[in-house]
Amino acid sequence: MKVSFQGEPGAYSEQAVFNYFGKEVETVPCESFDMMFDSVLNGKSDMLLAPIENSLAGSIHQNYDLLLRHDLHIVGEYFLRVRHCLIANPGVKKEDIKKAISHPQALGQCAAYLRNLGIKPETVYDTAGSVKMLKESGARDVAAIASRRAAEIYGMEILEEGIEDNQENFTRFLAVQREATTPESDAKTSIVFSLKNVPGSLFKAMSVFALRDIDLTKIESRPLQGKPWEYLFYIDLIGSLQNETVQRALDHLSEYAVMLRVLGSYPRFKG
């Protein structure tokens, strides 16, 4: 099975692929999130694993928009514990480092650590890509922030591991493919809908779940393109589409929604 991800080999997303699907899968690195979705649509990969939110940095909005844009289905989720490493060329000492390069999210998650060491952060396109760039440059006063796997792939040294400012650093990934699935139990369902901009519309929409004691684990609003100050609402709820209570709630919601789409029904991740 081929699974696409965004980033260079050694990226956290690739580690999530191996953790979730197993070591036997073939990974397909993609330069951008758009290319990652395209690889599934055009059959170059069977599935993709997309980061959708981080416990510290929040949602990855571009992937919410791509889920809506393409006719693909969420079929699973995975939570990855993110451990950042300070990585340098062989023989370099920590006191030699003047600058650290990485993806802006990784730099932000290590901001206090870098500040305490007097290391200047500099943004590049990818965590694993920063290690690749550092190796190619041979710089002795620059470090990269990335995963242990990235350091191993490029033959670099880890000066320190676990440098993130907050240890409760998790990224949630969604497995996406062309065909939908419907688990029978212990599931989540993700939907997106829009509403008329009238008083009480969002309250009525939320009430269809509250009246049936359906647990909502995520609510995200995104601008509705082409209609300023109107919004799409993304919701993750506990329950499968096979559950009659969930189906009745969605039928009820369709009475209020201008647009309603199920993005996927899938097993809940158990860490």
The catalytic residue positions are 171, 173
Distance CA 7, CA 4 (A): 10
Distance CA 243, CA 69 (A): 27
